[in-house]
Chains A and B, each alone.
Chain A
Amino acid sequence: MSSKFKDDVSPLPAVPGTNTMIELVNVHKSFGHLDVLQGINLTVTKGEVVVVIGPSGSGKSTMLRCINGLEPIQKGKVIIEGEDLHGPRTDPNKIRQRIGMVFQSFNLFPHKNALQNVMMAPMKVQRKSRAEAERIARDLLDQVGLADKAQALPEELSGGQQQRVAIARALAMKPDMMLFDEVTSALDPELVAEVLGVMQSLAESGMTMVVVTHEMGFAREVGSRLIFMDGGVVVEEGDPREMIASPKEPRTQKFLSMVL
């Protein structure tokens, strides 16, 4: 499948001489007395598709939300393209513009139609003209197969369509990397494929992606690295096919035997 997203990936890494997009160093996160992340170390390089799996409550969604600073952390470092997200001179809003995120519950803006949802951030954040934003938005809706739904309100769209609009909305900022937080978990089974299809062609275009999912098929086919999390730590990581076929850690074995 040839990629439809080729034009949207910036040709150079933002920091010359390095390909590291995301670096988590000993990240700790707790909600009150509940330690959700207990020292996460993770490096994602350009073009990688890192798939994160694990039982619910293992901290995988929280880790994703720490990458773009939606959750504050208690300890450790989050470094995005060489910039410390929590650094004293860092503007997290600027960094978030380079990190697209797609949510389990879509979170489209219900008072705006599909086109306006995609146009909003380029216009309000990047100060692009209406015409320019609309050109970008129509182009992206076309790429996710929803050119004919531009005027539809979110409530008029199926879950799969809403999620594809949400992907287009995130891509409209021309991010350097994308985070996917269980984006197919709220979908009816027959709608999962259309969303995974869009994600696959995005991966093939070279987009750097971190994908929290329960779709083992996607992990095997599209993932370039598989990470198994449990109890707030990374238990095992490796090549998706090898790891799914022969997991080393007992906890990974137990989890995979339950989901496969």
Chain B
Amino acid sequence: MNAFFNGEIFKDSLWLLVQQLPIVIEVLVLGLICAWTWGLILSLIRLSRFRPLRYLAGAYIDVFRGLPLLLLFIFIYYGLPHAGIKLNELTSGVLGLTLCYGAYSAEIFRAGIQAIPKGQTEAARSLGMTGGQAMRYVILPQAVKLVVPPLTNEFIAMIKDTALMSVISVPELLFTAKEKMGVVANSTPLTVAALIYLAFTIPLIRIAAMMENRRRKSKPGGKPPSGITPEAEKKLFDSDIAGQVPKGGEGW
């Protein structure tokens, strides 16, 4: 027991790790903003009417969903310098998160956009809005509301994946805990790191579950207010929304 929970080392490590939190949060916030922006752009390209761009975005999404994030981090930090591109630890971390999670977010955004009934676009276009205006003022505001729960789940995964950055020397929780572990020859720092991760992830898991429940209760057997079909919703909330090719001619 003492090997995992030593009171003195616990206090030391807690202080040490809490000091690293700003870096973790910085990487996370930057990663989140970049990944979601990139994901939204990718999803719009994937739904656009320009076929070559659509395929390109689709290929990107497939490739980056299929690669281990750990490999990406190592490639960016240790591989790219061979091509003369040297990025610091934090930039590499944020870039890795963006490339990988952008692909996941793109699929979530696409499912959300496609879950909005076609009549919404038609109503907007019939009022003289351009495709872009319809997307911006009518479709996206509704789609974003729909994708909050799946994006929350993605955020949880991202928090855990910051631990992978320990291999590229980002002084995040795992990296710092491991170093401390070597110094004190005791596993307590790992326990502390674990508790800090949980302090972040468990509330988010609860929030995601609450949103999910409220969504279910809000329509007891009735039709959803905006006419989103159950199939579309199922598609959206399935844990794996992969591999669905956009229907042809869905351009806007």
- Interface residues of chain A, those whose CB is within 8 Å of chain B, are 68, 70, 93-94, 96-97, 99-101, 103, 105, 107-111, 120-121, 124-125, 154-155, 166, 169-170, 173
Contact = CB atoms under 8 A, between A and B. Distances in A.
A79 B137 CA distance: 29
Contacts of B124: 109
A96 B137 contact: no
B127 A169 contact: yes
A99 B128 CA distance: 8
A110 B225 contact: yes
Interface stretch (B42-50, B138-146, B172-180): B138-146
Contacts of A121: 127-129
B79 interface: no
B148 to A, nearest CB: 13
Contacts of A68: 126
Residue from B123, B124, B130, B137 with most neighbouring chain A CB atoms (10 Å): B123
Contacts of A124: 129, 133, 137
17 contacts: A93-B125, A93-B130, A97-B128, A101-B123, A101-B126, A103-B122, A107-B120, A107-B123, A110-B225, A111-B145, A125-B127, A125-B128, A125-B129, A125-B133, A154-B225, A173-B127, A173-B128
A154 B142 CA distance: 14
Interface of B: 117, 119-120, 122-130, 133, 137-138, 141-142, 145, 225-227
A33 B103 CA distance: 37
B141 A111 contact: yes
A48 B164 CA distance: 70
B233 to A, nearest CB: 14
Contacts, number: 64
B227 A105 contact: yes
A169 B124 CA distance: 10
Nearest to B116: A110
Contacts of A100: 126
Given A107-B119, A124-B133, A70 B225 contact: no
A-B pairs with the 5 shortest C-beta distances?
A97-B128, A107-B123, A110-B226, A121-B127, A101-B126
A231 B167 CA distance: 68
Contacts of A103: 119, 122-123
Given A103-B122, A107-B120, A154-B225, A93 B129 contact: yes
Contacts of A120: 127, 137-138
Contacts of B117: 107
B178 to A, nearest CB: 47
Contacts of A101: 123, 126
A96 B141 contact: no
Nearest to A122: B127
B138 A109 contact: yes
Nearest to A94: B128
Nearest to B142: A111
B119 A99 contact: no
Contacts of A70: 122, 125-126
Given A105-B227, A124-B137, A155-B225, A170 B119 contact: no
B128 A93 contact: yes
Most buried by A among B124, B125, B127, B226: B127
